[in-house]
Amino acid sequence: MPIIAISRSSYLHGKKIAEGVATKLGYTCISQEELLDDSQEFNLPDIKLIWDLLFILDQAMFWQYRYISYIRALLIRNLQKDNVVFHGFCGHVFLKELDHVLNVKITADIEDRAKLIMEHDGITRKETFSFIKTIDSKRKRWCQKLYKVDIQNISQYDITINISKFPHDKAVDIICKIVKLNRFQTTPESQKTMNELLIAAEAGASLNSDYKAERTGFLSCAMEV
């Protein structure tokens, strides 16, 4: 059975759509936030510290590779059994070698996003548009810096759904229908690729875990900068 990777930004109801798809198909639903919580298993520092290091210190390349190797291992480990809906904003970059993954991009018109934010956070229209610009810019920079991809390039997704044009339940129906196509079914070859990716990811994460002394010293110096 296939894997569904739903890429979404903030205030797009991406979580709601992912959970709706998982419920309808009987799949497991995993969020990027859950993976980051699980990253404590690998003794990663706080995600905000990683963010700050990436844009302040040239030496942060060490943490870039460390973070990527651990998140890749966690993601592939969770997706190995298939029948999974994963939702986040850049996790699909780890799955591009797999044929049985349906990559979905959720978007919305900026006016609809603004309306949702104003209702949710009780801020002004001017503050809302400034907030959207800031958070979208940060996410774009994060993916460019960490993963070397432009999340706005739609060619990396199989389908893009603008939920300003479709109600959430229709978006769920569209995804569920498309994922049943033969194109996205697991094959012996794709499962072999998944197993090989997991072995490589686990090995990379294990290798990076040998640098605890460097990590401690590096973090101490970094937080003094």
Domains of the chain: 3-222 (3.40.50.300)
pLDDT of residue 18: 94
Half-sphere exposure of 72 (CA within 13 A, CB side): 27
Q: What is the pTM of this model?
A: 0.80
Burial (CB count <10 Å: 0-12, 13-18, 19+), residue 133: exposed
2 versus 175: the higher-pLDDT residue is 175
pLDDT of residue 33: 78
Cβ atoms of 79 and 3 within 8 Å: the answer is yes
β-strand partners of 222: none
Average pLDDT (93-120) is 90
DSSP 45: P
- Phi and psi of 102, rounded to 5°? -95, 110
Residue 199 to residue 79: CA distance in whole angstroms: 13
Amino acid at 22: A
- Residue 5 in 3-state DSSP? strand
pLDDT of residue 16: 92
pLDDT of residue 4: 95
pLDDT of residue 158 exceeding 90, the answer is yes
For residue 54, give every residue at least 6 positions away whose Cβ sits within 8 Å of its Cβ, in sequence order, or none. 60, 63, 64, 142, 145, 146
pLDDT of residue 92 exceeding 60, the answer is yes
pLDDT of residue 62: 60
Average pLDDT (51-60) is 50
Average pLDDT (3-16) is 85
- Residue 22 in 3-state DSSP? helix
- The dihedral through the CA atoms of 56, 223, 67, 88 has a sign that is negative
Written as six digits, the tokens of 10 are 């903030």
Residue closest to 50 by CA, chosen among 28, 65, 34, 72:
65
Mean pLDDT lowest among 19-33, 43-57, 63-77, 96-110: 43-57
Residue 100 to residue 189: CA distance in whole angstroms: 10
Cβ atoms of 23 and 104 within 8 Å: the answer is no
pLDDT digit string (tens) for 199-220? 988 887 776 655 443 444 443 3
Residue 172 to residue 38: CA distance in whole angstroms: 27
Task: Return the number of other C-beta atoms located less than 10 Å from residue 16's C-beta.
Answer: 17
pLDDT of residue 51 exceeding 60, the answer is no
